[in-house]
A and B are shown apart, each in its own frame.
Chain A
């Protein structure tokens, strides 16, 4: 039985993610309680805002050791959304340089486009097959809103790319760990399909 735990560090749009998961009829809790993290089958780290501020809040509010045990050792499916994806990096360069969780090697850098933030619907190009794409039709549009992107060291982990001024990683996957730069909870039909696929992992 799927049990979702949405981590809440105080700057994510946890409500929106929760709304969608409830709508899809899954059991879901918003919690940072180590017991809830342990009981869950799937863990989501949502995110809105700047890297440094978000990382500080994560350090203050989330039991990182416990989380690492569940995800890196027990291999529970984990989804990081937007800043939640970026936080898995080694470092981030938004308003100074900050250390991230360091689960995935790479840097979060400012995008090169002339017009920023990158706001709106954009499509993804699949680079590597993954179960999370199952059932998506040819129009793979998702809703993005960000000015920074995650530049992964190991490009083999990039499963989808998106273009905005430059090509950047819009989805990465390292076994049970997935990061998406867009907001599936705001991406209507395509977002729902992708989130359902994640929850079926």
Chain B
């Protein structure tokens, strides 16, 4: 039987792995390549790698840290794909087919697009035609405004004209392979996923949905898996402060009889 997935999201800002809160506050928590190697050893199902740098600068010019920073985003992905043998989704700053191709060429298996798809939904059609739907993840940042789920772009800074249902229909119709739904309201707060939001999305589409935003304890993964039809649960912050976090969270879910891959530690 097909298993549901647990996916760590790696946020990269200027060459460093960061923790995010409410799309506004970012804290440096380490070397992205080492972190990914660890996640891989803990038996992660997949990885989502998001570049949230506001500019193209990936070196914060600090030499007091005990590891070398890798300043170029594509080089980071290239390094990452040499130490992990699991699917990698790469997102952030993808504006055209060439941007997508460059990421796939260095080892990304899928690309995740957010703002460019909101500005021009036909971009999704072009991506699907060129690389296949299975390669296209559309990331959707959602915020509750006046009691409605609204779609925001540019890292949560611009309110689009789309409401949730309308946009999900377009995304699916244009050939996306997966939807990554992120709740801005819950980002970094650790209070659990917005289950209502997730249900609204899964009710309206026939492509796999990945939940994001709000996981603060293992129980929250379990809630999303038992109370919604999402295919995967993802999170960022929760994985960084516990040794063997992925392994332990999967073990928790496995023992709760969720249909996930058996937890395992892998030597690489």
Contact = CB atoms under 8 A, between A and B. Distances in A.
A121 B131 contact: no
A123 B134 CA distance: 19
A188 B231 contact: no
B85 A191 contact: yes
Contacts of A116: 206-207
Nearest to B108: A13
Q: Secondary structure at chain A's binding surface: helix, strand, loop or mixed?
A: mixed
Contact of B3 (A122, A146, A192): A122
B33 to A, nearest CB: 14
B206 A48 contact: no
Contact of B207 (A115, A183, A186): A115
A117 B208 contact: yes
Given A13-B104, A115-B206, A117-B207, A19 B231 contact: no
B210 to A, nearest CB: 10
A19 B206 contact: no
A126 B231 CA distance: 25
Contacts of B105: 15
Given A19-B82, A121-B2, A146-B134, A115 B109 contact: no
Contact of B266 (A11, A119, A188): A188
Nearest to B264: A189
User: Which range holds the interface residue count of chain A?
Assistant: 35 or more
A147 B109 contact: no
B45 interface: yes
A184 to B, nearest CB: 9
A147 B133 CA distance: 9
A115 B4 CA distance: 13
Contact of A188 (B43, B81, B109, B177): B43
Interface of B: 1-5, 40, 43, 45-46, 81-82, 85-87, 104-107, 109, 131-135, 177-178, 206-208, 231-232, 261-262, 264, 266
29 contacts: A13-B104, A15-B106, A16-B81, A23-B85, A49-B131, A49-B132, A115-B231, A118-B2, A119-B231, A120-B3, A120-B45, A121-B2, A121-B3, A121-B5, A122-B3, A139-B261, A139-B262, A141-B261, A147-B134, A163-B1, A163-B2, A183-B87, A185-B85, A186-B87, A187-B86, A188-B40, A189-B266, A191-B85, A192-B85
